[in-house]
Amino acid sequence: MTAILASEMSGEPIALPPFEVRHAMRLVKPRSANQLHGYVRSVLGFSMPRHPIVRGHTAPFAYLEHAYFERCTPRDCLVWANRGGGKTQLGAIATLLDLLFKPGIQIRILGGSLEQSSKMYRYLKRLLESELFHDLIAGNLTERGVELLNGSRVEVLAQSERAVRGQRVHKLRCDEVELFEPEIWDAAQLVTRSGTCGETFVAGAIETLSTMHRPFGLMQSLLDRARAQNRRVFRWSVLDTLERCPPQRPCESCLLWHECGGRAKRASGFIAIDDAIQQKRRVDESTWASEMLCDRPRRDENVFPEFDEAVHVRAFEPPSGALWIGGMDFGYRAPTVLLWACLTAEDELLIVDEHAERELTTDEHIAVVRGRSWPRLRWIGADPAGHQRSEQTGVSTIALWKRAGFRIRTRPLPIEVGILAVRRRLRRADGVVTLRIHPRCRTMIESMHKYRYPPNDPEATVPMKDGTDHAADALRYLISNLDRDVCRARVSSYLRR
């Protein structure tokens, strides 16, 4: 008998024991990693890698072991895996094991969309509907939830604050968290509770499974804070989930040779090599790297794809004799951002420091800027909209800064022209870099990563106003006023279109 379940994780057919044997084994609780692996293979019909082939990665089975054995700590975890890497189906298998062997457990599945939540649940539903388990269901197996005779229950949640906030459950499994709205993720942090389920104490936990394809998106933020927030990280890529490459297949001419280097000869995964090769042919390098190799986020929507922390961010001491200038974007509920910069004799622009605060008055911002120890700024490039007079005071924001003794420069330019001026500083056509940012400027660095055009709109020329733009705008105003000759030429070209 062979496995008959349609599965992302079905490689070669698995020879299964007779149904009577599997039926007798179905409620025999695994108590070791080897027993768990044997149960998943012999009873459920799934074979999954136990050893990664990429150094620093983890095998898919390591996540399942962590999810099942409550003794594994910390309980909260992140799964960063490739597209088609079995993470959603693994979540379904982990849910089935919890339902079977932890009586009374309450689990909720929350996806980046209702469709994504339902995908994990459909895998689970297919398992429970099989002849092996259907008699364990109490009542009806619906499209949104199921309860077993032992009192265990799982439900699918809609992607809404109302649906999430009304929960108190033992486990929350979040699928494709990269697609979550931040407020939904925040609401989800308080839904878990601990409790004893049968003979097992279950600590309240949130398991997060996702690809990572957005620079400074939610998944990257969670990974950056994983240690501080006590989350265990599991990471695997297409290489860790490849099927074993047959000895007769030549390596040197293989499209996967660059990343594989022959390691697939000892692989034990489930993704067909021909499928992986075809997928690599279909996509660009950045998509392959971020979504299949789990290497780095895609940057195809980034306004400044030239920005590279390894090149543009470095610690430095401002040189003596440099010209000190600034850039500023005004805000109130959104932050006001001011950048301190100096221009060297070699025309290198150094972003030395930043001030980024919200809900302060103009006078309060001025006091903060005056309190910094940097030399006085020769001028500050600012948003021309700052000339608008306040309805309450009749005085513009720029006028208040000028009254305080600051020289403010503004230039009403098309936003595309300012962006091109910044990109020229990031890297000229001859490869020369004339913009550096000090590591203390975290808001500036994050903005350079996150500043992006609307997704799925390749014709868009105006970046999104999603809260990540303020420091980038301050830099744009600075450079537009500094490189006036370059911007003037670009305006002439822009107007001739």
pLDDT of 392? 67
Q: For residue 261, how many C-alpha atoms fall within 13 Å in the half-sphere facing its CB? A: 5
User: 437: closest CA among 327, 297, 360, 290?
Assistant: 327
From residue 150, alpha-carbon distances to 101, 136, 167, 169, 194 in Å are 9, 8, 20, 16, 18
d(CA 44, CA 55) in angstroms, rounded, equals 29
d(CA 223, CA 342) in angstroms, rounded, equals 34
Residue 476 Ramachandran class (φ > 0 left, ψ -120 to 50 alpha, else beta): alpha
Counted residue by residue, the chain has a size of 497
What is the CATH architecture assignment of 19-237? 3-Layer(aba) Sandwich (3.40)
φ/ψ (deg, to 5) at 381: -80, 130
What would the CATH number be for the domain defined by 309-495?
3.30.420.280
The first and second tokens of residue 300, run together, are: 């195809």
pLDDT of 491? 43
Amino acid at 321: G
pLDDT of 492? 44
pLDDT of 495? 38
Instruction: Identify the residue whose tokens are 């808001």.
Output: 443
pLDDT of 332? 85
d(CA 102, CA 72) in angstroms, rounded, equals 15
Question: CATH 3.40.50.300: which residues of the chain?
Answer: 19-237
d(CA 495, CA 490) in angstroms, rounded, equals 9
pLDDT of 494? 40
- Is the CB of residue 80 less than 8 Å from the CB of residue 210? yes
From residue 147, alpha-carbon distances to 135, 346, 421 in Å are 12, 70, 60
- What is the residue-level pLDDT of the chain in tens, covering all 497 positions? 233 333 445 555 678 899 999 999 999 999 999 999 999 999 999 988 999 999 999 999 999 999 999 999 999 999 999 999 999 999 999 999 999 999 999 999 999 887 888 899 999 999 999 999 999 999 899 999 999 999 999 999 988 888 999 899 999 999 999 889 889 999 999 999 999 999 999 999 999 999 987 767 889 889 888 888 999 999 999 999 999 999 999 998 999 999 999 999 999 999 999 999 999 988 877 778 889 999 866 666 788 988 999 999 999 999 998 999 999 999 888 899 999 999 999 999 999 999 999 999 999 999 999 999 999 999 999 999 888 887 667 789 999 999 999 999 998 888 888 998 999 899 887 788 999 999 999 999 999 988 888 876 666 778 888 778 899 999 999 999 998 754 444 444 443 34
d(CA 175, CA 171) in angstroms, rounded, equals 13
